[in-house]
Structure 1
Amino acid sequence: MKQLLILTTFFFFSTATSPLLAQQDAFIKDYLERLENSRKYLILVAELMPEDKYDFRATPETLSFAENLMHIGFAMDWHSQSLLGGRATRDYQTDTIYKVDNKSKEEMIAIINETFDATIKLIEQFDTTQFEDELDYFGLNRSKQQIFLLLTDHITHHRGQMLVFMRLNELVPPRYVLFQ
C-alpha cells in the first residue's frame, strides 16, 4: 500500500510539472530565436553606420553611437553572465572590454558578436526551474524570467537610439525585422 501511495504521488507531481516545463522550454526556444534576430539587426545597424560617425552624439550628454553599441554589450554581459549566470559583475569604471577607447568599428562589432555568442550559450544551458528565483534589480525584486525580458528591452532601447543617430546623419536605417 505504501508503494502505491509513493507511486501515485510521483505520478501526480510528474504530470503536474510536465506542462510547466514544456512552457519554459518553449519560452527558451522563442527567446533564442528572438535574440538571434536581435543580433542580426544590431550588427546590420553597426555595419551601416560609417566608422567616422561612430563618435556622433545627438546631444552632449548622450552616449555616442559607439558608446551605445558597447553599452549594449556591457549590459548584455551583466544581465546574462552575472544576473542569470551568477558570475561576479564587471566593474564598469575599470572594464576595458566594453569601453570604446581606441577600438575600431570592426573590433566593436566583433565584441558584440562574442557577447551574443556567450549569452546564447548561457541561455541554451539555463535551468528553467530557476525562472522564479528573485534578484535585486536596482532596488526592485525581479525574477530571473523577468531578467530575460529586461535584457531584450535594454538592447531594443539603445538600438533605437542608434537608429535615430543614423537618421540624424542622413542615413537610412535598415528596415525593421519582426520578432526581435
Structure 2
Amino acid sequence: MKQLLILTSILFFTSVATPLVAQQDDFIKEYLERLENSRKYLILVAETMPEDKYNYKASPESLTFAQNLLHIAYAMDWHSQSLLGARKARVWQTDTEFKVANKSKKEMIALVNKTFDKAIELITEFDVKKLSDTLDYFGLNRTKRQILLILSDHITHHRGQMLVYMRLNGLVPPRYVLFQ
C-alpha cells in the first residue's frame, strides 16, 4: 500500500511538473527565434545607415545613431550576462567596450554581433527552472522571464530611434522583419 501511494505521488507530481518545464522550454526556444530575427533586422539597419551618418542625432540631448547601436549591445550584455548570468555588471559611465570612441561602423557591427552571440549562448544554456526566479530591477521585483521580455522591448525602443534617424536623413529603412 505504501509503495502504491509513493508511486501515485510520483506520477502525479511528474504529470504536473513536466508540462510546466515544457512550456518554459518552448518560451526559450521561441524567445531565441525572436532574438535572432531581431539581430538580423538590427544589423540590416546598421549596415544600411552610411558610416558618415553614424554621428547623427535628432537633438542635442539625444544619443547618436552609433550610440543607440552600442547602447543596445551594452544593455543586452547587462541583461543577459549580469541579470540572467552571474557576471558582475559593467558600469555604463566607465565602460569602454561599448562606447563609440574611435570605432568604425564595421567594428561596431562586429561588437553587436558578438554580443548577440554571447547572449544567445547564455540563454540557450539557461536553466529554465530559474525563469521564475525574481530579482530587483530598478526597484521593481521582476522574474528572469520578465527580464528577457524587457530586453526585447529595449532593443525595439532604441532600434526605433535609429529608424527615425534614417528617415530624418532621407533614407528608407530596411523593410521590417516579422516575428521579432
Same fold (TM over 0.5): yes
Tell me what 1:108 maps to: 108
Measure, in 2, the Cα distance between the counterparts of 1:76 and 1:137.
14
Root-mean-square deviation (CA, aligned residues, Å) is 0.7
Measure, in 2, the Cα distance between the counterparts of 1:146 and 1:172.
33
How far the C-alpha of 1:96 sits from its partner, in A, is 1.1
Q: Which amino acid aligns with 1:147?
A: I
Measure, in 2, the Cα distance between the counterparts of 1:101 and 1:85.
27
- Identical counterparts, % of pairs: 71
Tell me what 1:167 maps to: 167
Q: Which amino acid aligns with 1:74?
A: Y
How far the C-alpha of 1:2 sits from its partner, in A, is 2.4
How far the C-alpha of 1:4 sits from its partner, in A, is 2.2
Q: Which amino acid aligns with 2:53?
A: K
Alignment of 1:34-49 (within 5 A): 34-49=34-49
Tell me what 1:59 maps to: 59
Unaligned stretches of 5+ residues in structure 1: none
How far the C-alpha of 1:93 sits from its partner, in A, is 1.7
Quick check: 1:88 aligned with 2:88? yes
How far the C-alpha of 1:132 sits from its partner, in A, is 1.1
Residue 120 of structure 2: SS of its match in structure 1?
A: helix
Measure, in 1, the Cα distance between the counterparts of 2:2 and 2:104.
69
- The Cα offsets for residues 10-37 of structure 1, whole Å up to 9 and x where unpaired, read as 1111110111111111111111110000
Measure, in 2, the Cα distance between the counterparts of 1:123 and 1:3.
40
Give the aligned length: 180
TM superposition score normalised by structure 2: 0.98
TM superposition score normalised by structure 1: 0.98
Residue 135 of structure 1: SS of its match in structure 2?
A: strand
Measure, in 2, the Cα distance between the counterparts of 1:146 and 1:67.
25
Unaligned stretches of 5+ residues in structure 2: none
How far the C-alpha of 1:116 sits from its partner, in A, is 0.3
